[in-house]
Chains A and B, each alone.
Chain A
Amino acid sequence: MKYIDEYRDKEICKKFSDKIHKISPNRDITFMEVCGTHTMSIARSGIKKLLPKNIRLLSGPGCPVCVTPNSGIDKAIAYAKMENTIITTFGDMMRVPGSSSSLAREKSLGGDVKIVYSASDALSIAQENPAENVIFLGVGFETTSPTIAASIKDAALKKIDNYSVLPMFKLIPPAIRAILNSGELTINGFLLPGHVSSITGTGIYRFISNEYGVSGSVTGFEPLDILQSILILLRQINDGKSEIANQYKRAVKQEGNQSALSLLKEVFETEDTEWRGIGFIKESGLKIRERYGSFDAERKIPVEAELTKENPECICGDILRGVKIPSDCKLFDKVCNPENPIGPCMVSSEGTCAAYYKYER
């Protein structure tokens, strides 16, 4: 396929891999791929096998479903149990275990849960079902939230008042800062999320190099993109530099997508929010502004979720911070597998445990 096959070309991948081996310093190097789509791509294309042993790739907190705390999942499940309610969601959320159920389970028991491909599809469902409350589960980072902001704005314009969004949005830079501040890890460089950056631009990462002296490279999602970014980061390390590079120039502009950003600003404002495994991070979430408050599911339709329970042996949280890897978990591949997921990392399409289980066991 044009514009994709080129980035999976075996010969070019081999050249990059050879260069990486050649310039790799003779000590342990740890890079964190922040984004879950990177984790999946690395596992799916077998990239770790093309790298020298001393280069370690760690997954970060960039799987939106995984970082959603159980309380959020439970809330969505509580809505799914309500009469006259249609839950609309991206497919990733369906099988994520809450404290005692999942959306897939509620659907099997008769709950009206529909998978949609975009928030605008959810809005169409609301238009077609005026007697039902249609709630869209607002999970995602800067990549996804502008499209959901657009759906809210559109609903206001068209006066579709049976549509609302359960906001569980997260922002990437505060999470990276939290990881750098924790001091739990020595990270020599970040593979920064390409999709998020296509919206935000590259400026949001400057603090990584300026304040923490760590390198970063905004990275595309094909094998060659990832190998090239690793090469870029290694060169910076060898030259004693720390900068934010943009490997994914074909999609990411320095200034980002201005219309998406202004839409975000119009509909949402930042708030402190809870991340699974990390806890509350200041101004790391998005809430719906007062002006659009009638489209906030929680403000519109109060719901009581069950008391949150978590399996104390599940280490999803540690994995999201990069402190542990799936094989460190007592439950991994024993109790916890994709058929019987204990934590979200095993079941999300971008989850680290899912990637290890599926491709790297």
Chain B
Amino acid sequence: MQHTINMKDNEIITLSHGSGGKLTNNLIKKLFLKKFNNPKLQPLEDAAILNISGSYLAFTTDTFTVDPLFFPGGDIGKLAICGTINDLAVMGAKPLYLSCGMVIEEGLKLDTLKKIVDSMRKMAEATGIEIVTGDTKVVEKGKGDKIFINTSGIGIFGEGIKPLENNFQPGDKIIINGTIGDHGIAVLSARQEFGFETDIVSDSAPLNGLVSEILPIAPGIRFMRDPTRGGLATTLNEIVEGKDFGILIDEEKIPIRESVKGICEILGFDPLYVANEGKVVLIVDQKDANRVLEKMRTHPLGKESRIIGKVVSEPIERVCLKTRAGGTRIVDMMVGEQLPRIC
């Protein structure tokens, strides 16, 4: 057998390959992109942009697994709707239709499934999308973790809205719509093994409303992405990868809740790498940045929006952080999962 993939022959898939960090990135590039390669997949954006009969369409898919299924601020059903909506919204598209595939482990209580489906319906109604097709599979006990949900979605581009051009320039501002790390820490705290009592609620939310308000007012929005698995750090690294510019962010300006900071300190996690489910990172022409920021702050999901950094001409392909203490350091892409440390 000929091995064309530049990975070690004895390599096996570990949880780290699914963490959203460097190993996930590697797997996608060295296996999936390599084998499926085509110009529409190649940008590896949150959704593919398809030009069908002269009009643009955004198309995406996402699979959801979370433990526990219900956590403060959301559940797997809400995630499955919001996650796919957000992947379409950050491309500048208006989400319209979703599919829903469920892999259910036998033994799941029907009542639990009902709650999940209700949550999905509620989110669909609130966001104005429809779930128009689906599939159900049931697997033996022990062959799945209660339930996995896949949703795919399509969205269209509204009148006068074109796919973003990603024409980054040094000086462009980096904006985020609020505190980072809430989702990851809310889910973690909900696990019994920690016994944490916190007020942290997942930020899981559909971003299409917020995005649709800011898109028309600013031609200077170059790029948007929702920093989910792997957190803000991983998203910023994906932006600079292979580019002739870098990003400099300012530790003091990145909004993080005190309680999230506290749990991260206890477990030795870096909030920059913790997952979000209702955040959007924007890169905006500096001339438009304040206007975008003001508009974002008028939306319920954008009240805590802040400029957290900028695009810099060098070092290229690097994300750097100005530390609170006044030094600077690089912010690398996450490798594997964040694991609690010894001391």
Q: Which residues of A contact B (CB under 8 A)?
A: 1, 4-5, 8-10, 13-14, 17, 37, 43-50, 64-65, 90-92, 94-95, 104-105, 107-109, 115, 117, 121, 139-141, 143-144, 195, 223-224, 337-340, 349-350, 357-361
- Interface bits B108-127 vs A (CB < 8 Å: 1, else 0): 00000000000000000000
Please state if A10 and B332 are interface contacts (CB–CB under 8 Å).
Answer: no
Are A360 and B330 CB-contacts (below 8 A) given A339-B22, A349-B268?
A: yes
Which residues of chain B come closer than 8 Å to A44, judged between CB atoms? 323, 329
Please state if A46 and B323 are interface contacts (CB–CB under 8 Å).
Answer: yes
Which residues of chain B come closer than 8 Å to A50, judged between CB atoms? 325-327
Please state if B326 and A115 are interface contacts (CB–CB under 8 Å).
Answer: no
Which residues of chain A come closer than 8 Å to B52, judged between CB atoms? none
Please state if B343 and A339 are interface contacts (CB–CB under 8 Å).
Answer: no
Please state if A143 and B330 are interface contacts (CB–CB under 8 Å).
Answer: no
Q: Which residues of B contact A (CB under 8 A)?
A: 8, 12-16, 22-23, 26, 193-194, 252, 258, 261-262, 265, 267-268, 321, 323-330, 332, 335-336, 339-343
- Top 5 A-B pairs, shortest CB-CB distance: A46-B327, A91-B339, A223-B325, A338-B335, A359-B329
Which residues of chain B come closer than 8 Å to A338, judged between CB atoms? 22, 335-336
Which residues of chain A come closer than 8 Å to B14, judged between CB atoms? 104-105, 107-108
Please state if A46 and B343 are interface contacts (CB–CB under 8 Å).
Answer: no
Which residues of chain B come closer than 8 Å to A47, judged between CB atoms? 325, 327
Which residues of chain B come closer than 8 Å to A359, judged between CB atoms? 329-330, 332
Please state if A140 and B343 are interface contacts (CB–CB under 8 Å).
Answer: yes
Which residues of chain A come closer than 8 Å to B22, judged between CB atoms? 338-339
In the complex, A64 Cα to B341 Cα: how many Å? Answer: 11
Measured CB to CB, the closest approach of chain B to A302, in angstroms, equals 26
Which of these, A49, A104, A349, contacts B328 with CB under 8 Å?
A49
Q: Would you give 7 A-B contacts (Cβ < 8 Å), ordered by A?
A: A8-B324, A37-B343, A44-B329, A47-B327, A108-B13, A338-B336, A349-B341
Which of these, A17, A104, A140, A358, contacts B330 with CB under 8 Å?
A358
* B321 to A, closest residue via Cβ: A46
In the complex, A243 Cα to B194 Cα: how many Å? Answer: 42
* A337 to B, closest residue via Cβ: B335
Which residues of chain B come closer than 8 Å to A141, judged between CB atoms? 343
Please state if A108 and B12 are interface contacts (CB–CB under 8 Å).
Answer: yes
Please state if B330 and A49 are interface contacts (CB–CB under 8 Å).
Answer: no
* A361 to B, closest residue via Cβ: B330
Measured CB to CB, the closest approach of chain A to B10, in angstroms, equals 9
Please state if A1 and B329 are interface contacts (CB–CB under 8 Å).
Answer: no
Which residues of chain A come closer than 8 Å to B194, judged between CB atoms? 117
Measured CB to CB, the closest approach of chain B to A108, in angstroms, equals 5
Please state if A45 and B329 are interface contacts (CB–CB under 8 Å).
Answer: yes
Please state if A139 and B342 are interface contacts (CB–CB under 8 Å).
Answer: yes
Interface centre among A5, A115, A338 (most CB of B within 10 A): A338
Measured CB to CB, the closest approach of chain A to B198, in angstroms, equals 14
Measured CB to CB, the closest approach of chain B to A2, in angstroms, equals 8
Please state if A13 and B326 are interface contacts (CB–CB under 8 Å).
Answer: yes
Which residues of chain B come closer than 8 Å to A46, judged between CB atoms? 321, 323, 325-329
Please state if A109 and B12 are interface contacts (CB–CB under 8 Å).
Answer: yes
In the complex, A317 Cα to B30 Cα: how many Å? Answer: 33
Please state if A64 and B327 are interface contacts (CB–CB under 8 Å).
Answer: no
In the complex, A23 Cα to B324 Cα: how many Å? Answer: 24
Are A339 and B335 CB-contacts (below 8 A) given A10-B252, A90-B340, A115-B340?
A: yes
Which residues of chain B come closer than 8 Å to A224, judged between CB atoms? 325
In the complex, A360 Cα to B194 Cα: how many Å? Answer: 33
Are A92 and B325 CB-contacts (below 8 A) given A10-B252, A108-B15, A109-B12?
A: no
Please state if B193 and A17 are interface contacts (CB–CB under 8 Å).
Answer: no
Please state if B340 and A91 are interface contacts (CB–CB under 8 Å).
Answer: yes
Please name 9 further chain A to chain B contacts, defined as beta carbons within 8 Å, in addition to the given A10-B252, A359-B329, sorted by A numbering. A1-B258, A4-B265, A43-B329, A45-B329, A90-B341, A115-B339, A117-B194, A141-B343, A339-B336
Measured CB to CB, the closest approach of chain B to A339, in angstroms, equals 6
Please state if B335 and A13 are interface contacts (CB–CB under 8 Å).
Answer: no
Interface centre among B8, B13, B22, B268 (most CB of A within 10 A): B268
Which of these, B23, B193, B324, B343, contacts A121 with CB under 8 Å?
B193
Please state if B327 and A45 are interface contacts (CB–CB under 8 Å).
Answer: yes
Please state if B325 and A45 are interface contacts (CB–CB under 8 Å).
Answer: yes
